[in-house]
């Protein structure tokens, strides 16, 4: 990542690089000591986890714009400027800006934003946006983006309070995006920016997924139920379109679903919202049996 960062930074951009060593014991610290400018190093005496380590690095940074970069990225020329353009195009309403991330092993899209499925679980949007979409609509708004590679203004980061360190290596990025949305800011993906990502390469990356997702759902149940309703609404017409005569939709409800999908109606249909809250309640009950506080 460090070598690709050196090679990909555009001319004319003033920058520094703050590297946070999160309690390594494998000789990394000796290597970091020899890097020199523009690299600065923050050393954690013990492993604090992604959120806390990132917060320490951001606190040490001096720039007006923060770029949060995971250590398992491979950066190509042209990754930064489209993200900067997206951030600036959103103006004062900019929240967190992500980009397209390709799985380094398969070169397939691993991330083009984060959505919530009909089970109210976060998933990466892995649809290839295509050249036409990137050309005509280079900035795609999304409810959340992964923190593996994002830009955020320093004043926005400080206003939001950075990552919540109660999350341990998961969901802290979604929580940050939700807090940005609650503050009236817009999160987005810069479709013209692409990087390679060795997905979840750190040992133990998935150990606390259940606890992290539970914390996220308990905090943002209402928001997640609305986002899950989008997937419910997209599937609403499928049985009828598949030719099942028993599944003729109610005219009034079908109209409400259509308005919701067209974004002419902000609130989901009551049936969709009830279905999503029922899914969440079942999952919360499962977590109560699975996880002891």
Identify the pLDDT of residue 253.
84
Q: H or E stretch including 143?
A: none
Identify the pLDDT of residue 266.
87
Identify the pLDDT of residue 275.
93
Query: Is residue 243 over pLDDT 70?
Result: no
Residues 6 or more apart whose CB falls under 8 angstroms from that of 28 comprise 21
Q: Which residue has the higher pLDDT, 7 or 206?
A: 7
Q: pTM to 2 decimals?
A: 0.92
Residues 6 or more apart whose CB falls under 8 angstroms from that of 4 comprise 73, 74, 75, 76
Query: Is residue 274 over pLDDT 80?
Result: yes
Task: Give the mean model confidence (pLDDT) for residues 219-236.
Answer: 92
Identify the pLDDT of residue 132.
85
Average pLDDT, the chain: 91
Identify the pLDDT of residue 289.
84
Task: Give the mean model confidence (pLDDT) for residues 218-244.
Answer: 85
Helix axis angle, 209-235 to 270-290, nearest 10°: 160
Identify the pLDDT of residue 190.
98
41-55, 119-133, 150-164: range with lowest mean pLDDT: 119-133
pLDDT-based confidence at residue 236 (cuts at 50, 70, 90): confident
Write out pLDDT tens, residues 83-96.
Answer: 999 999 999 999 99
Query: Is residue 54 over pLDDT 90?
Result: yes
Task: Give the mean model confidence (pLDDT) for residues 42-65.
Answer: 96
Query: Is residue 245 over pLDDT 60?
Result: no
Pairing mode, strands 17-22 and 39-44: parallel
Identify the pLDDT of residue 237.
76
Query: Is residue 202 over pLDDT 80?
Result: no
Write out pLDDT tens, residues 164-197.
Answer: 999 999 999 999 999 999 999 999 999 999 999 9
Report the alpha-carbon distance of residue 288 to residue 291 in Å, rounded.
6
Report the alpha-carbon distance of residue 40 to residue 61 in Å, rounded.
9
Query: Is residue 65 over pLDDT 90?
Result: yes
């Amino acid at each position: 990542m460090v070598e690709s960062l050196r090679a990909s930074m555009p001319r004319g951009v003033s920058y520094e690089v703050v590297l946070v060593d999160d309690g390594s014991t494998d000789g990394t610290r000796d290597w970091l000591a020899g890097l020199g400018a523009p690299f600065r190093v923050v050393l954690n005496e013990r492993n604090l986890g992604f959120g806390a380590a990132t917060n320490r690095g951001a606190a040490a940074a001096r720039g007006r714009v923060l770029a949060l970069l995971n250590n398992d990225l491979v950066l190509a020329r042209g990754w930064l400027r489209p993200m900067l353009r997206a951030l600036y195009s959103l103006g004062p309403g900019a929240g967190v800006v992500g980009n397209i991330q390709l799985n380094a092993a398969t070169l397939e899209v691993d991330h083009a934003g984060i959505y919530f499925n009909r089970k109210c679980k976060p998933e990466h949007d892995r649809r290839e946006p295509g050249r036409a979409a990137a050309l005509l609509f280079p900035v795609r708004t999304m409810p959340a983006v992964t923190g593996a590679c994002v830009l955020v203004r320093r004043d926005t980061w400080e206003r939001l309070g950075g990552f919540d360190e109660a999350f341990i290596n998961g969901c802290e990025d979604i929580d940050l995006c939700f807090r940005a949305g609650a503050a009236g800011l817009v999160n987005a993906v810069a479709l013209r920016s692409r990087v390679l990502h060795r997905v979840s390469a750190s040992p133990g990356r998935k150990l606390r997924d259940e606890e992290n997702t539970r914390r996220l759902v308990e905090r943002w149940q209402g928001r997640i139920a609305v986002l899950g309703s989008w997937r419910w609404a997209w599937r609403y017409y499928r049985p009828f379109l598949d030719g099942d005569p028993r599944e003729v939709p109610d005219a009034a409800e079908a109209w409400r679903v259509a308005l919701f999908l067209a974004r002419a109606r902000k609130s989901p249909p009551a049936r969709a919202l009830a279905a999503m809250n029922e899914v969440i309640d079942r999952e919360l009950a499962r977590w109560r049996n699975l996880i002891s506080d």
